[in-house]
Structure formats: structure tokens, C-alpha cells
Amino acid sequence: MLKPVRLVAAAAACAVMAAASGCGASDEDGITIQWWTWDDKQAQSWEKCVPAFEDANPGVTVDISQYAWDDYWMKLTAGFVAGDAPDTFMDHVNNYPEYTSQAQLLPLDDYIESSGYDLDQLSVGVPTWTYTDGKLYGLPKDWATVAFYYNADLLAEAGLTEEDVATMTWNPEDGGTFDDVISRLTVDENGVRADEPGFDAENVAVFGINSLGSNGVNGQDTWANFAASTGWNLGDEDNWPTTLQYSDPRYVATAEYLRGLATRGLTPKEGEFSLGQVEQLGSGSVAIVQSGSWNATSFFNLEGMNVGIAPSVIGPEGERRALSNSNADSIWAGTEHPDEAFAWISYMNSPECQDVAGADGTFFPSITSSMDITTASLGERGIDVTAFTDQFQAGTLFETPAFERGQEVGEAIAPLSEAYFTFEREADVFAEMDETSREILGQ
């Protein structure tokens, strides 16, 4: 099946290279374009695009490297300092503004114009990856959001239906039907459910849902979807905010409700489990886990478990709101081969490549037609991702904002948020979080 894809890819890659030194051009020793990622699964998927690209560009070799998340950013920063960073790499919205301000990233606009690359084919991320100078510094390659993965057998034992989970309503006052569902699913060591008399909140055998606590600046895996459903926004602007709005009463009410779930025994206490989200569901310790679309294949690989996916809660304004993030491919400003580097990342972000790489289901492609192939491929494996795609199509996803000094903001905010959800601080911490963000963003 790969051979006809290569034939299409060759034409696409030649078109991109034409504006540079000509399709197939190389120096005497050949050219190697490096591409880095932090995602081991995606590394294998994107590797499938390499043969077609190299066939179309004789003398150009692509070298893919993958490093664990923390090591990845340390190595990348060290490469910038030493002058030997990779030509191309998968970039994150929290980090690219800082890299751009340091002149470490190559603006892509001239390459897009000269090559005729169709920017409109990208369904997500372009505004977020457009810096304050109006230039684009990454080609958005994917999109992701979170939903509820559940143990369908535990639902049935509790007398609940999949429809009950798929239509959960929520508000910060009484928790809506979400509160009813997770109360029913929570069981203590004596077999008493949390909505029954005699429930022991201190000795829980199965929690209704995983901890929905701190989770950094934007709470992507935990509180973001709940808080946003009240009409709250993280920043005072969609992108390039001057402050983050944690002291907004809507956020405060959301945080108070979610923290209270641990007190009631409906969720583990913050930091109680060292297991990851997939392992928590797989161990039977929780009945529902809120987790990312990037984990779909891992959840459905759990042996002996009937797993389902439900969309985010319907908030007090009658609408779902789910945080979405889009990673992108950037080019290091110090690359010695910018034309070939753009040829590679533009090929990665073309239907010819995304159709092939996306079929693995390790990411959700940024190109709609490729996403259709991913959806169909996962469906053939018994993985129904409509809980994610329906929200995308309905326009209820919102993107995490881009802002300067993302790492510094994260390092300052994360411990304050954690202190609240571990009961070391009370709601007065939110004003401090606001002020801390304002000071850093204003520098």
C-alpha cells in the first residue's frame, strides 16, 4: 500500500523544493535533516513518511529522534546555546513564544508563499502559532483534547447507562448529574456506594473519577473543561494575555467544587496515586478517568476491560467546552539547510504524509481529510472517537492561549495551584496566582 503513496508524495515534495535549489538537490556529502519529538508513538508514525520524502529528494535524509518530555526541552535549549539544535522539531505552544523572542525560530511565511503551500488545509492552530510580529513560526500538525474514559462494566454494575455518562451536566453549586454519576460509581471497602447511607469516605475501594486537581497553568487534564463551561477564560485575551484570571469567581467556584470531591471521597486526594491515568482505570481503582485523545489507543489496549469514551460535561450555560491544544513543526533559525527543512515539515503537514502517519491513531491530524482516515482506522479497531470529533465539529473546543515566558509562568503557578488542591492554601492563593502571572507576563 505504500508504493502509490510515494508516487503522490514525490510530486508534492518536488513542488515544495522547486522554489529552493530544485527537487533532489544536495551537496557533495548529502544533506541530513533532523526532526525531534517527545512522543515515542508519534515518532514511529511519522517515520512512515520518511521513505516517500527521501525518494522524492535524492541526497536528502531525514533523521528522527525522540526524547522523554523533560529531557527533550533541556536538550533543545542546550542545542540553541551550543549552536547545534535540530533543523526541525515538534514544538509546543507554551515554549515557542520564548524561542521566537530569542530569535531561535525561523519565520515560515516566505517559504509558504514561494512554495505555494496551502495553509488553508490546516484546520487548527494557525492563529495560535502566529507570533506578535504577525509571522507564523510553526505548521500546526495535530489537535488534541480530553474526554471521559470509563469502565463500561462498572457503569452497568451501578445501574447506569452509557447515555448517563455521555449527557452529564455540571455546575459548581450542586455538581449536576455529573455529581450523581460519580457518586453512584464510588464504592467503599464495604461495598457501600457514595449515594447510599453509611458510605465511608475514608476507605474507598473504587473512586468515581480520577483526581481533578492542579495540573499546571491551564488544567488541561483536570479542571479546564469544567471552568470554561461557566464562561470563564484563562487569559484576559485569547492570545498574548496580560494576566491569567484565577481569582475570577467562576474559576474559584469551580476549583472549590473539584477540591471538595476529594474530601467527599469521590476522587483520590491530590497526589494519592502514583499510577498514570491509563493504569488507574486498568487497575479498577477508578471508574472514570478524564484523559487526553492521545491516550485513546492505550486505554483500548487494556486487557479484559470494556472501555468507552464520553464527551466533556454540559456546563451551566448549556454547552460543552473542551480545551484543545495544537503542536506544530518549527525550524531552528540556525539550520544550514532551511529550504530542505521547510520541504520536510511542509511534507509532514500535507495529506500525503498525514494520511499515512495518522492511520496509526497516535495523534489527531490537523488536516480534515487525514483526520477522517484516522477516525476510520481507529473505528476498525473498535475505538470510537466521536466523543472528541463531535466537539471539534460543533465548535465547542477552545485553544490554550499563547503567551510569553510560558515556562517561567508554569514554574511559578504550578506550586501555588498544587498547594490549594493539597489543602495547604485556601482560596486567597488565587489572587496571588493572578498577580504572579501579571508580573511575569508584563516583563
Spatial separation of the C-alpha atoms in residues 90 and 325, rounded to whole Å: 13
Q: Give the whole-number percent of the chain exceeding pLDDT 70.
A: 94
Q: Mean pLDDT, to the nearest integer, of 84-110?
A: 97
C-beta of residue 290 within 8 angstroms of C-beta of residue 212: yes
Q: Can you name the residues that pair with 219 across neighbouring β-strands? A: none
Higher pLDDT, 26 or 118: 118
Q: Can you name the residues that pair with 143 across neighbouring β-strands? A: 364
Pairing of strands 146-151, 286-292: antiparallel
pLDDT band at 4 (very low <50, low <70, confident <90, very high): very low
Q: Mean pLDDT, to the nearest integer, of 338-360?
A: 97
Spatial separation of the C-alpha atoms in residues 402 and 365, rounded to whole Å: 20
Of 125, 150, 123, nearest to 138 by C-alpha is 125
Sign, Cα dihedral of 162, 164, 167, 173: negative
CB burial class (10 A; 0-12, 13-18, 19+) of residue 261? buried
pLDDT band at 215 (very low <50, low <70, confident <90, very high): confident
- Could you give the domains of the chain? 2-144+326-366 (3.40.190.10), 146-324+399-441 (3.40.190.10)
What pLDDT, on a 0 to 100 scale, did the predictor assign at position 47? 98
Q: Give the whole-number percent of the chain exceeding pLDDT 90.
A: 91
pLDDT in tens, 219-239: 999 999 999 999 999 999 999
Q: Which residue has the cell 502571572?
A: 437
pLDDT in tens, 427-436: 999 999 999 9
pLDDT in tens, 137-171: 999 999 999 999 999 999 999 999 999 999 999 99
Prediction pTM value: 0.90
pLDDT band at 9 (very low <50, low <70, confident <90, very high): very low
What pLDDT, on a 0 to 100 scale, did the predictor assign at position 43? 97
CB contact burial 330-365 (16+ within 10 A = b; e otherwise): bbbbebebbbbbbbbbbbbbbbbbbbbbbbbbbbbb
Spatial separation of the C-alpha atoms in residues 280 and 274, rounded to whole Å: 9
**pLDDT, the chain, mean:** 92
Spatial separation of the C-alpha atoms in residues 432 and 424, rounded to whole Å: 14
pLDDT band at 400 (very low <50, low <70, confident <90, very high): confident
Residue 205 is which amino acid? A
Element (H, E) at 26: none
